[in-house]
Amino acid sequence: MQLTFTKWVTINPGGGIMQGIVAGDAVGKFAGQVLVNDPADLAEKLGAPATDITLLEAVYEVQAGDHSLRALVHGGYDAASNQARLEGTVLGGWLTGDRALVRFEALPCSQSHAGNQPNAAGGTCYQGTITIVPNVDS
């Protein structure tokens, strides 16, 4: 099962709260909260010009009627490649127990599927996919 999404971190109320839209195998709203946003400082310590990876952990919620789900995902974002990869587990709702694989990139909201979002921090949106795959351990 695959969902496409566009999300943004809100300015208000802030605190890592996300909202957005979802399409694909379920159509609805996206909500989430960033629990960890911790950039590494290895490049700075080594005096390297490269950017570091940011450790991310978040709760994702898809609000789509009978196809609603809640997942806990973790992974990282590499600013140099503008690519994020996270994985986790669907903890509630549709497809509970299955794996959630997330990929996204940052772009100006004006260039995203969501268009301009007045409450998007920095005018930045994140567009990507959530792939739900059966958990072989369940």
Q: Which two tokens stand for residue 89?
A: 């587990």
pLDDT exceeding 90 applies to what percent of the chain? 79
138 within some domain? no
pLDDT value of position 93 = 97
The three-class DSSP label of residue 89 is strand
Model's pTM, two decimal places? 0.89
88 within some domain? yes
Tens digits of residue pLDDT in 65-85 = 999 999 999 999 998 899 999
pLDDT exceeding 70 applies to what percent of the chain? 89
Which domain range does residue 78 map to? 2-133
Would you say 59 and 69 are in contact if contact means Cβ atoms under 8 Å apart? no
Q: How far is CA 67 from the centre of its chain?
A: 18
pLDDT value of position 47 = 65
34 within some domain? yes
63 within some domain? yes
Number of folded domains in the chain?
1
DSSP sequence for 89-121:
EEEEETTTT-EEEEEEEEEEGGGSTT---TTBG
